[in-house]
A and B are shown apart, each in its own frame.
Chain A
Amino acid sequence: MTAHLPALQVLVPLGCAPLCLLLRRFRTVTWLVFLLAALSSLACAVLLATRVDDGPLHYEMGGWPAPYGIEFVVAGFNTPVLLVVSVVAVVAAVYARRSVGDEVDDRRAPLVYTCLCLTLTGLLGLTVTGDVFNAFVFLEISSLSTYALIAMGRRRRALLASFRYLVIGTVGATFVLIGIGFAYAVTGTLNMADLADRLTDLDGNRALYAAVVFVFVGLAVKMAVFPLHAWLPAAYGEAPSAVSTFLAAASTKVAIYVFCRFAFTVFGAGLVFTTMPVGEVGLLLAALAMLVGSAAACFQRDLKYLLAWSSVAQIGYIVAGISLATAAGVSAGYLHVINHAVIKGALFGAAGLLVLRLGSARLDDLAGLGRRMPWTFAAIVVTGLGLVGVPPTAGFASKWALVSALLDAGAWPVLVAVLASSLLALVYVGRIVEAAWFRDPPADLPADQPRAPVSMVAAVWALVLLSVYFGIDASLPGGLADAAAAALLGTGGA
Chain B
Amino acid sequence: MIGTHYVYWLLFALMMIGLYVVISHGNLLKKLIGLTLFQVGVFLFFISIGKVDGGSAPIVSDDVETYSHPLPQVLILTAIVVGVATLAVGLGLAVRIFETYGTVEEEDVLERDTTP
Chain A residues with a Cβ under 8 A of chain B: 133, 136-137, 140, 144, 147-148, 151, 156-157, 159-160, 162-163, 166-167, 170-171, 174, 177-178, 181, 184-185, 190
Contacts and interface: CB of A to CB of B under 8 A. Distances in A.
Contacts of B39: 170, 174
Interface in B57-82: 72, 75, 78-79, 82
B86 A140 contact: yes
Contacts of B89: 144, 147-148, 166
A166 B22 contact: no
Interface string B89-101: 1100110110011
A170 B40 CA distance: 13
B22 A184 contact: no
B90 A167 contact: yes
A181 B79 CA distance: 12
Given A160-B106, A163-B90, 16 more contacts: A136-B79, A144-B86, A156-B100, A157-B113, A159-B96, A159-B97, A159-B100, A163-B94, A166-B89, A170-B86, A174-B38, A177-B42, A181-B42, A181-B45, A184-B72, A190-B75
B90 A166 contact: yes
B14 interface: no
Contact of A163 (B49, B72, B97): B97
What is the interface of chain A mostly: helix, strand, loop, or mixed?
helix
Contacts of A144: 82, 85-86, 89
Nearest to A165: B93
A171 B39 CA distance: 8
B113 A171 contact: no
A163 B1 CA distance: 40
B86 A137 contact: no
A260 B82 CA distance: 25
Nearest to A147: B89
Contacts of B100: 156, 159
Interface of B: 15, 19, 22, 28, 31-32, 35, 38-39, 42, 45-46, 49, 72, 75, 78-79, 82, 85-86, 89-90, 93-94, 96-97, 100-101, 106, 109-110, 113
Contacts of A162: 93
Contacts of A163: 28, 90, 93-94, 97
A171 B79 contact: no
What is the interface of chain B mostly: helix, strand, loop, or mixed?
helix
A165 B89 CA distance: 12
A159 B42 contact: no
A51 to B, nearest CB: 31
Nearest to B94: A163
Contacts of A178: 15, 42, 45
B73 to A, nearest CB: 13
Contacts of B110: 160
The 3 closest A-B pairs by CB, nearest first: A140-B82, A163-B93, A185-B49
Nearest to A139: B82
B65 to A, nearest CB: 20
Contacts of B79: 136, 177
Given A156-B101, A160-B110, A181 B93 contact: no
B42 to A, nearest CB: 6
> Which of B49, B89, B90 has most chain A Cβ within 10 Å?
B89
A162 to B, nearest CB: 6
A181 B49 contact: yes
> Which of A148, A162, A163, A167 has most chain B Cβ within 10 Å?
A163
Contacts of A151: 93, 96
A174 B39 CA distance: 7
Contacts of A136: 79, 82
A177 B100 CA distance: 34
A163 B103 CA distance: 14
B97 A167 contact: no
Nearest to B97: A159
B86 A159 contact: no
B72 A166 contact: no
